Structure 1
């Protein structure tokens, strides 16, 4: 593709107003797909929720698949951006995992559509589905490696531990974030963190 073609196909917003419109469409898509699912959700439903003209949709997205793919990436980034700054406040590597789960539970409770959208992406766009979990596990593995270097966890922690902790967090988020959010998130995070500390915490002589 030549430069002219690339410029024509580039749907990145070039103004603050354009970015606001794109953001409104993504937020509307989260509501539409969260309530109806991908197959029953529609572009007209998205634009109606966003309060913008149908033509505005095609300024930023080509198809329903296109906005769904962008939404999966966007929601994955929202989780990261919500959790990461809070983890930075942790006192050590074990506490970082407690805060990570606590923050994720908070996010899931405020964005219950997250699970339906991510789960459906396995069948709509498997690459985006896989990237969501691989990127999350990669960040967790790097965090555990730093914790090991500081002596907070065992020296032999590896990728398997990251995936195991992530799997636990995903299902705790489903059970105590989406299905029933009545139990204090701090309590759930503390119980899970005790398992992590006993499993991979550094041995103190």
Structure 2
């Protein structure tokens, strides 16, 4: 093993947890990293700060991650997955394609209010790991575009919806989450979602 965390032959070691206990430790480290980077930012955050928050020995960190960059990259992917896993089951209960976008925004607002650190972490990813930053938004937009196409097939939204519509709605949701999820969460989330959804319905609703 070299000091940069790679095996001597240049092949990265497998860091995937092999036991439930290992998965719990890795999860504790990711949760601690979210708190550390959310509070201090990437550059001021530290591995020792992460392990201290997680209640783990320093050696445990290197069992699952090679560097600070490595856990940050994993954290961006993990938080993106958490948003997906929180929002998707709720969207599945929607009445139709338009209602799905209302529920999607409402669920995202709820998630952002409970995990305000996500904005700082994702924003810093643009400069720390451009690939992870792009993947977060590209994957989100791809899921949204697929959802809109399925809604179009059902006649819930206009037939010409495409990727541009997905990125436009996602952009609106991102800034509404910042304004009403992180900066000020006092206004009812369902009220924000309803106002935004009226815009979506007028913009991509089926043409009668």
TM-score, normalization by structure 2: 0.95
Q: Structure 1 pair 184/14, CA: closer, same or farther in 2 (3 Å)?
A: same
- Higher-helix-fraction structure: 1
Q: Does 1:27 align with 2:3?
A: no
Match of 1:141 among 133, 138, 145: 145
Q: Distance in 2 between matches of 1:118 and 1:8?
A: 25
Give the unaligned 5+ runs of structure 1.
none
Q: Secondary structure of 1:6's partner?
A: coil
Give the unaligned 5+ runs of structure 2.
1-7
Instruction: Give the match for residue 8 of structure 1.
Output: 12
CA displacement 1:61-81 (0-9 Å, x = unmatched): 000000000000000000000
How far off is 1:8 after superposition?
Answer: 7.0
Q: How many residues align?
A: 201
CA displacement 1:58-113 (0-9 Å, x = unmatched): 00000000000000000000000000000000000000000000000000000000
CA displacement 1:138-166 (0-9 Å, x = unmatched): 00000000000000000000000000000
Q: Secondary structure of 1:9's partner?
A: coil
Q: Distance in 2 between matches of 1:70 and 1:194?
A: 36
Q: Secondary structure of 1:129's partner?
A: helix
Q: Secondary structure of 2:9's partner?
A: helix
Q: Structure 1 pair 82/6, CA: closer, same or farther in 2 (3 Å)?
A: farther
Q: Distance in 2 between matches of 1:195 and 1:149?
A: 21
Q: Structure 1 pair 8/67, CA: closer, same or farther in 2 (3 Å)?
A: closer
Q: Distance in 2 between matches of 1:6 and 1:19?
A: 25
How far off is 1:7 after superposition?
Answer: 8.7
Q: Secondary structure of 2:12's partner?
A: helix
Q: Distance in 2 between matches of 1:114 and 1:178?
A: 9
How far off is 1:186 after superposition?
Answer: 0.1
Q: Distance in 2 between matches of 1:13 and 1:101?
A: 33
Q: Distance in 1 between matches of 2:125 and 2:171?
A: 17
How far off is 1:203 after superposition?
Answer: 1.7
- RMSD between aligned alpha carbons? 1.3
Q: Structure 1 pair 40/8, CA: closer, same or farther in 2 (3 Å)?
A: closer
Q: Distance in 2 between matches of 1:6 and 1:31?
A: 32
Task: Extract structure 1 runs of 4+ deviating beyond 4 A.
Answer: 4-8
Q: Distance in 1 between matches of 2:126 and 2:20?
A: 32
Instruction: Give the match for residue 5 of structure 2.
Output: none
TM-score, normalization by structure 1: 0.96
